Amino acid sequence: MVNGKIWKDTDGNPIQAHGGMIARFRDTWYWYGENKGVPNIPGTTRVEPLGVSCYSSDDLLRWENRGVVLPVPEGVAVMERPKVMFVLQTGRYVMWFHADSEDYTFAGCGVAASDSPAGPFHMIHIIHPNRLDSRDMTLFTDKDGKQYLFHSSDYNKTMVISELTEDGTDVTGDYTKILAEQEREAPAVFLTRGTYYMISSGCTGWLPNTALYAQTQHLRSGWKLTGDPMSGPDSRRTFEGQSTWVFQAGEEFFLMLDHWHPYDLQSSGYSILPVIFDEAGTMTIPWQDEWNGV
Ligand code: DGJ
């Protein structure tokens, strides 16, 4: 797969899984993302969403289209950044996504669930977590099994960590604001060697900007922006991409980027890059021209 370009599924069709995530469930890799497979609404940087797509793979290279696993709920004009987690307490798969109005002023979260990772997912509700606005978002499962929603709030000025209920479908009411006034979005959160990391972008719409990572020893406090981890040509513009998710395969971590084409969103590209740490825990993400799986 050529990084930065649109990738094809096993039928030879463009993979429509933007703002997505990859996870291993029941010994299979699943990739969920936004299906944007129609032309933009003329003259705008928006498509009518087609729902959340799912693809599956055994090798992270050949992706079989499993179809739309969650259609667009009524009244939702923007359906972005779907993320899926397994919930131990119920044995179900729960999906959260950014649900919005055409002009992004609704700023809420959709929640859906399924008994199978390949869907179908059924809508549960659309909420404003803790009565806050929520735009770009991600999910994170901590080492103790507790699950959290990370969401850009206060008109994208501040990141919020909202604790989720044991069944993963709602917030508990307990939340923390981090990186206040730092204006970060596109969060991708993971834990390795006792440190929590978050890779994020600045807030420039569909246009690339400088990625930064933040880190802390304690999930709910102490987050500090550390630096730009990207290395290689065009690194200050995140190689023309934007973070969406970090996944672990074996001992290694990998970052997924979207390479948005604002006026033809369906042709937006993907890349997957290795996330490397030195002894001190400093992160580097080198550009690679190709993704060859693991
Ligand atoms: C940046 C976000 O990261 C994307 O998911 C999308 O919401 C665009 N903004 C819309 O301008």
pLDDT at 291: 98
pLDDT at 251: 95
Instruction: Confirm or reject: Cβ of 19 under 6 Å from ligand 1.
Output: yes
21, 100, 206, best to mutate for ligand 1 pocket (most atoms within 8 Å of CB): 206
Predicted confidence at residue 107, as pLDDT, reads: 98
Q: Which backbone phi and psi does 130 adopt, to 5 degrees?
A: 55, 35
| Per-residue pLDDT, 294 | 86
Do residues 108 and 122 touch, judged by C-beta distance below 8 A?
no
Name the closest-CA residue to atom 1, ligand 1: 205
Ligand 1 center to residue 167 CA distance, Å? Answer: 28
Copy the structure tokens of residue 22.
Answer: 């990859």
pLDDT averaged over 10-residue windows placed end to end, the chain, 294 residues: 98 98 97 98 96 98 98 98 98 98 98 98 98 98 98 98 98 98 98 97 98 98 97 98 98 98 98 96 97 93
Atom 11 in ligand 1: residue holding the nearest Cα: 205
Answer yes or no: are the C-beta atoms of 27 and 250 closer than 8 Å.
Answer: no
CA 227/CA 266 separation, integer angstroms = 31
Residue 245 corresponds to which amino acid? W
- Ligand 1 atom index nearest CA of 242: 3
Q: Pick from 138, 149, 150: which is nearest to 21 by CA?
A: 138
Indicate the pTM of the whole model.
Answer: 0.98
Which CATH fold would you assign to the domain 18-286?
Tachylectin-2; Chain A (2.115.10)
Q: What is the DSSP letter of 131?
A: G
Residue-level pLDDT at 271:
98
Pocket lining: 136 vs ligand 1, CB cutoff 6 Å: yes
Domain spans, the chain: 18-286
Alpha-carbon span 127 to 168, nearest angstrom: 13
Copy the structure tokens of residue 189.
């959160």
Output the pLDDT for position 242: 98
The CA 242 to ligand 1 mean position distance, Å, reads: 9
Test site for ligand 1: of 18, 40, 80, most ligand atoms within 8 A of the Cβ: 80
